[in-house]
């Protein structure tokens, strides 16, 4: 292990906590308990050096979930990989007493939340468990720590409902809590429930991911929620004298309401994602994205493909798309079935090159007119659609294509794999997108995404990203108005880099502007069907299409 080769305890700890510099150190160190923070601070102040592995004494270890641990005495390392032992010149006097006091502070803080839960009506606590379970079932995995405990629904370490555990599994903490009285609960399990519920209700359900890879404890959550309320520009509610659990939930409600107010005023939330520990921080952009943010090459392509003057704003762009739409339903050229598919491909391809990306993509349902009719009828018929009812237009850059010069047969395989994953995403979000998720039964679904995000080190655990080398990524999800309501996450625009430099905020702004371009194109298509125009199915961008376009080998069926 790299950290074990470091000379000082401080260097080894920071290298391990940051997972070799791949994670901001401030996030990595927030996984420590109070006692561990104190032990590391003491070792840093004393200039302690790192010795070889030991089973006893002060030592460092890294868990399989990526959390740095600082252990003392006979503390068990569990599944943690040993890094080394702390070599003191002189161990600070009274350190053990201070560590014991801080460990007790963690426990007392958790016990306070447990006492609050005991004071609540049983039905309120049951509703909290159900709310958390619902959220965890329909969002990406989380990885949270409360005191010494880890709570996650990712992989073998799972103890929460999700892809790895069914809702009724006895291994799920939530299921085990429901099976016994609150007085019997472990204090850290109780604290986790109270805190994660407040976190989830403070904004979108995915808010829980903002604490992924860190300690979820009441003092930090109080500060977090206060910052959210202030950031949204609303007044903080009075919480003096309230039990901490109640205070957290009052702040959470204010945060949720404040977020709606801020977004109505034009504030645009986006997320920075740390791919290694699933930490996803919501940030706020106050300057609106305008047509001036669209890359020049994309603007030129728009004017050429839509046969119109360069649009000065998004309203002009929508009007141009609406005027062009009847012709876009007609036959395409250069291997495209319709002009719509051709224009979509050209816009995504030019945007891919303009942002120095390796691959760009945009997804959606193949039969928008049929979907609109289903939605208008308030039917759940679309829930029976398979992933083949969706498409993803994937465009490799010239540089990315050149990497396959000696193995051209591999390029369409990669593009098909990317397309298949994105088609699955469209299928996965559909119930929530069209508002029938509460009637979806056992049908698997996720909450439709609403925030753009930038991801670093995305190729470390996400299955699709690992397989396709997606190290850096931008996602700009967006919806359209259909059957009288806004349908979130029906489409998106994505960019990826397999290597090179991470994306910047300028890149995100440009990608968001391209997403706004595509949203107008898709909206014009939906509106054309509503006005009675033809409803041609998007037939391109399937396996045979990619095979035919990028190699001369026989097409492979879906």
Is the separation of the CB atoms in 475 and 503 below 8 Å? no
Token pair, residue 551, equals 């190699």
* Whole-number average pLDDT of the chain: 93
Residue-wise pLDDT tens digits, 55-75: 678 999 999 999 999 999 888
Residue-wise pLDDT tens digits, 365-396: 999 999 999 999 999 999 999 999 999 999 99
Burial of 77 (0-12, 13-18, 19+ CB in 10 A): middle
Token pair, residue 102, equals 């801080």
pLDDT score recorded for residue 532: 84
pLDDT score recorded for residue 466: 44
Residue whose token pair is 């791919």: 275
Among 79-83, 126-130, 133-137, 537-541, name the one with the lowest average pLDDT.
79-83
Dist. CA 53–CA 60, nearest whole Å: 9
Dist. CA 347–CA 395, nearest whole Å: 10
Q: Which residues of 151-181 are buried (b: 16+ CB within 10 A; e: fewer)?
A: bbbbeebbbbbbebbeeeeeebbbbebeeee
pLDDT score recorded for residue 125: 98
pLDDT score recorded for residue 461: 43
User: Considering just the CA atoms, what is the radius of gyration of the chain in Å?
Assistant: 26
Mapped onto helix, strand or coil, the DSSP state of residue 62 is: strand
Asked if residue 294 has pLDDT above 90, the reply is yes
Average pLDDT on 94-110 reads 97
Asked if residue 470 has pLDDT above 80, the reply is no
Q: What percent of the chain shows pLDDT beyond 70? A: 96
Mapped onto helix, strand or coil, the DSSP state of residue 489 is: strand
Token pair, residue 275, equals 């791919």
pLDDT score recorded for residue 558: 56
Dist. CA 234–CA 263, nearest whole Å: 12
Helix or strand (DSSP H, E) at 455: strand 452-456
| Beta-bridge mates of residue 493 | 362, 476
pLDDT score recorded for residue 457: 65
DSSP state of 408: T
Asked if residue 76 has pLDDT above 60, the reply is yes
pLDDT score recorded for residue 469: 54
Average pLDDT on 17-43 reads 94
Asked if residue 107 has pLDDT above 60, the reply is yes
pLDDT score recorded for residue 91: 95
Asked if residue 465 has pLDDT above 50, the reply is no
Asked if residue 408 has pLDDT above 90, the reply is no
Sheet architecture: strand order including 59-62? 49-51, 81-87, 59-62, 68-71
Tell me which residue of 201, 217, 89, 194 sits closest to 146, measured CA to CA.
Answer: 217
Asked if residue 502 has pLDDT above 70, the reply is yes
Q: How confident is the model at residue 456 (pLDDT cuts 50, 70, 90)?
A: confident
Asked if residue 553 has pLDDT above 80, the reply is no
pLDDT score recorded for residue 552: 54
Which pTM value belongs to this model? 0.92
């Amino acid at each position: 292990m790299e950290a074990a080769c470091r000379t000082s305890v401080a260097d080894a700890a920071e290298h391990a906590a940051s997972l070799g510099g791949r994670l901001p150190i401030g996030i990595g160190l927030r996984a420590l308990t109070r006692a561990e923070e104190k032990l590391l601070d003491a070792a840093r102040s004393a200039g302690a050096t790192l010795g070889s592995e030991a089973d006893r004494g002060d030592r460092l270890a890294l868990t399989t979930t990526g959390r740095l641990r600082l252990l003392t005495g006979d503390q068990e390392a569990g599944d943690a990989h040993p890094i080394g032992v702390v070599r003191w010149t002189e161990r600070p006097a009274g350190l053990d007493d201070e560590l014991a006091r801080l460990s007790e502070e963690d426990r007392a803080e958790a016990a306070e939340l447990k006492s609050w839960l005991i004071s609540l009506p049983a039905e309120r606590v049951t509703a909290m468990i159900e709310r958390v379970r619902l959220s965890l079932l329909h969002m990406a995995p989380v990885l949270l720590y409360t005191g010494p405990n880890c709570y996650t629904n990712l992989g073998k370490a799972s103890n929460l409902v999700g892809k790895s555990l069914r809702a009724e599994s006895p291994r799920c903490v939530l299921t085990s809590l429901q099976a016994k009285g609150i007085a019997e609960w472990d204090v850290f399990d109780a604290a986790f429930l109270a805190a994660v519920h407040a976190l989830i209700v403070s904004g979108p359900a995915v808010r829980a991911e903002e604490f992924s890879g860190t300690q979820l404890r009441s003092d930090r959550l109080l500060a977090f929620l206060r910052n959210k309320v202030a950031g949204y520009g609303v007044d903080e509610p009075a919480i003096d004298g309230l039990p901490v659990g109640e205070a957290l939930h009052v702040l959470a409600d204010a945060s949720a309401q404040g977020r709606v107010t801020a977004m109505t005023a034009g504030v645009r939330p986006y997320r920075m994602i740390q791919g290694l520990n699933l930490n996803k921080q919501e940030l706020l952009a106050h300057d609106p994205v305008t047509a001036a943010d669209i890359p020049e090459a994309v603007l030129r392509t728009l004017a050429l493909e839509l046969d119109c003057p360069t649009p000065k704003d998004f309203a002009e762009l929508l009007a141009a798309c609406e005027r062009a739409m009847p012709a876009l339903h007609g036959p395409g050229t250069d291997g495209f079935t319709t002009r719509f598919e051709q224009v979509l491909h050209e816009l995504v391809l030019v945007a891919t090159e303009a942002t120095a990306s390796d691959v760009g993509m945009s997804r959606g349902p193949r039969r928008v007119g049929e979907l609109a009719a289903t939605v208008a009828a308030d039917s759940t018929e679309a829930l029976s659609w398979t992933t083949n009812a969706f498409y993803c237009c994937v465009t490799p850059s010239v540089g990315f294509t050149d990497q396959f010069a000696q193995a051209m047969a591999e390029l369409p395989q990669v593009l098909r794999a990317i397309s298949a994953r994105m088609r699955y995403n469209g299928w996965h979000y559909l119930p929530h997108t069209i508002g029938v998720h509460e009637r979806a039964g056992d049908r698997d679904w996720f909450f439709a995404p609403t925030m753009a995000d930038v991801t670093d080190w995305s190729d470390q655990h996400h299955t699709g990203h690992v397989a396709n080398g997606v190290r850096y990524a931008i996602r700009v999800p967006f919806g359209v108005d259909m059957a009288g309501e806004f349908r979130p996450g029906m489409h998106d625009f994505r960019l990826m880099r397999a290597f090179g430099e991470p994306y910047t905020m300028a890149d995100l702004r440009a990608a968001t502007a391209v997403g706004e371009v595509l949203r107008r194109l898709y909206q014009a298509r939906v509106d054309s069907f509503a006005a009675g125009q033809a409803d041609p199915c998007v037939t391109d961008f399937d396996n045979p299409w990619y095979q035919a376009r990028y190699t001369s080998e026989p097409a492979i069926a879906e």
